Structure 1
């Protein structure tokens, strides 16, 4: 496969670039440096919070692009390229409905911080994986003075059944996405990783034919559609495998790194 025209690489984190323990491979930074020397931009595209991603990539945080909160917040070198916030009144409606569902925990994802009102250990354990700035509040409905990028719902029994079905009506005016086996993300209708990719491609004058992306779950679907070189992980959701043109080994086998190493080894042509 000829990767000589690639100018932008975007990858999901959990289930994709990160291993099953949610860690970054020690092989990442050497291959990133090689990409940088070839003038290829790198973007971290995730449902994770911006501050979490910045800390995850601390050594290169001023060099790479961040598509955080499923693309509702895009930033580069400290500059905001996109803030796709939810309407506050609609956010309140989502929070009230989520509270009525059994077994559902809520994270209100603001630009300044994430907010939770439940402190159950099994919930906070999951929250701490993806959010570094977190405030515990008495009532999520009383949180103001922030822009809300996403409402993330956690159901430890799985969300593709009842939790996802409960928000079927909201799909007419919101982006409702299964972003993992136990996570359902609700954002502004225009907020998704595909829209984030469009903003980045326009900002840097890069075409889909010059773009490579990697993903594993349903919140990656619209991003997959914005790149010719679209890779589904071996461990990906069936719908992502169907949408992507190519396949990478699973995240437990360092599939993303393997493809990137192949790219940088192509005779210095990229």
Structure 2
């Protein structure tokens, strides 16, 4: 019996236009009636995730910042923030690369550093509160994650360069085609799912997970009922035990209706 469902947002639960399917409300209410926990997991900021589901989904679980923050019933139940000295060093390394922008995700704001105007449209899709800064000392709050934007693609040179320098101390992952994310070593979506399993007393075979990109790999390993979207990367398809239709074909909700609610 499934007791916990965890799904990535972009490219998974949301379609390519960043829209939530009209069937979601009905499906979610039925899951709630059956006491099945539902979590959304993303590299997004919590406030940006929350706007998709408020106010009627107060008992939804939010795994934000690729696992750096978990919020349940409006309360933080897990958080992992970066050391400011490490942030300075990572930013210094990133600035050695050409044509990249550095974005830092704080508890209240997104901070654009070394900003060259390129990723603003991308950022507006994910965040509504951001500040452009000239120095990292302007940040006066905790930081969950550093993201590096490269419009040529994260695999072009960004990911390997940062990974080679920091993989022994930090988690470095390509979270989308143009984004490389860096956050604390003990943090990823898989760790977050494990936190939820322990909190609610749920076993691996009671967990259903959906993902499409490489930052979803670790969370797919946390449940037997792991689904790669039809539009997923090959790495995700190799890890998942099952396949779902694409995000544009409402794959997540279709599996839930057919497998969990049937």
Match of 1:107 in 2: 103
Q: How many angstroms apart in 1 are the aligned matches of 2:88 and 2:66?
A: 20
Match of 2:171 in 1: 175
Larger helix proportion of the pair? 1
Match of 1:154 in 2: 149
Structure 2 runs not aligned, ≥5 long: none
For 1:197, which of 175, 193, 206 is the aligned residue? 193
In the TM superposition, structure 1's runs of 4+ consecutive aligned residues that sit over 4 Å from their partners are 118-121
* 1:241 maps to 2:237: yes
Residues 9, 40 of structure 1: 8 Å contact kept? yes
Q: How many angstroms apart in 2 are the aligned matches of 1:262 and 1:110?
A: 39
Structure 1 runs not aligned, ≥5 long: none
Q: How many angstroms apart in 2 are the aligned matches of 1:262 and 1:59?
A: 27
Residues 102, 115 of structure 2: 8 Å contact kept? no
Instruction: Give the 3-state SS of the residue equivalent to 2:20 in structure 1.
Output: coil
For 2:77, which of 44, 56, 81 is the aligned residue? 81
Q: How many angstroms apart in 1 are the aligned matches of 2:121 and 2:113?
A: 14
Q: Shift in Å at residue 138 of structure 1?
A: 2.5
Residues 49, 132 of structure 1: 8 Å contact kept? no
Count the aligned residue pairs. 261
Match of 1:163 in 2: 158
Instruction: Give the 3-state SS of the residue equivalent to 1:85 in structure 2.
Output: coil
Q: Shift in Å at residue 114 of structure 1?
A: 1.1
Note the alpha carbon deviations across 1:16-50, whole angstroms, 9 max, x for none: 01001111111111111111111111001001110
Q: Shift in Å at residue 119 of structure 1?
A: 5.6
Mean alpha-carbon deviation: is it higher for 160-169 or for 68-77?
Answer: 160-169
Q: How many angstroms apart in 1 are the aligned matches of 2:29 and 2:138?
A: 41
Q: How many angstroms apart in 2 are the aligned matches of 1:40 and 1:68?
A: 20
Cα RMSD of the aligned pairs, angstroms, is 1.3
Q: Shift in Å at residue 264 of structure 1?
A: 4.5
TM-score (normalised: structure 1): 0.93
Residues 231, 245 of structure 1: 8 Å contact kept? yes
TM-score (normalised: structure 2): 0.96
Instruction: Give the 3-state SS of the residue equivalent to 2:255 in structure 1.
Output: helix
Instruction: Give the 3-state SS of the residue equivalent to 2:227 in structure 1.
Output: strand
* 1:9 maps to 2:28: no
Match of 1:143 in 2: 138
Residues 51, 133 of structure 1: 8 Å contact kept? no
